[in-house]
Amino acid sequence: MSGGARSLEPWRWLGIPMLQVIVATQLFALPMRLWGLSLPEPVFAMPVAFAWAVIRPSMLAPFGVALMGFFMDLLWGGPLGLWAVCLLIAYGVALGGRAMLAGQSRGMMWAWYGVLTALALSAGYLFTMLDVKGMPSPLSVFWQFLATVILYPFADRLIERFEDADVRFR
C-alpha cells in the first residue's frame, strides 16, 4: 500500500476510536476542579462520527455512533437515546453530504464539522427542552459547542489516516 494508507479493518477504524472516545469521555466526566472550574464536557464522539461519515459508507458505523451515544446517556444521566439520536442526525447529514465534503480544504472541513456539531447540540437542546419542559443553560451549551469544535483535529487525523485505504470509494 502506498502513501502510508492503513487497511480498513473494522477494529482499526471503528473499534479503537470508540474505545478512545469512551476513555476520554470518562476522564472528562470525573468530578475534578481546577481553579474552581470543572473540566469541560465536549462531545468526544462527534469527531469520530464525522470522520466515519467522511471516510466511507459502512453498515457498522451507525451502530458504533449509537453505542457511543447510549454510553454518553448512561454516563451523563440523560434520557436513554438522546445522544444516540443527536449523533446519528449529524452522522446522517455528513454521510448525505459526503460527496460534497470530498476534496475540501481543512478549513472548510472544520467549518462543516462546526455546522454539524451545532446541529447535533441544537437537536440535543431541543430534545432536552421537550423532556424536562424547561430550558437548559444556553451558555453551558455554547461552551460545550466550543469545546467540541476544538476537537476537529482528531477527526482530521482519522480521516487522513484512512481516507485512501479503500480504493473502491475514490
Euclidean distance between CA atoms 127 and 42, whole angstroms: 18
Bridge-based pairing state of the strands 33-34 and 37-38: antiparallel
Residue 38 DSSP symbol: E
Q: Mean per-residue pLDDT for 51-76?
A: 92
Please tell me the pTM assigned to this model. Answer: 0.87
H/E stretch holding 33? strand 33-34
49 or 165, greater pLDDT:
49
Q: Mean per-residue pLDDT for 46-58?
A: 91
pLDDT score of 26 more than 50? yes
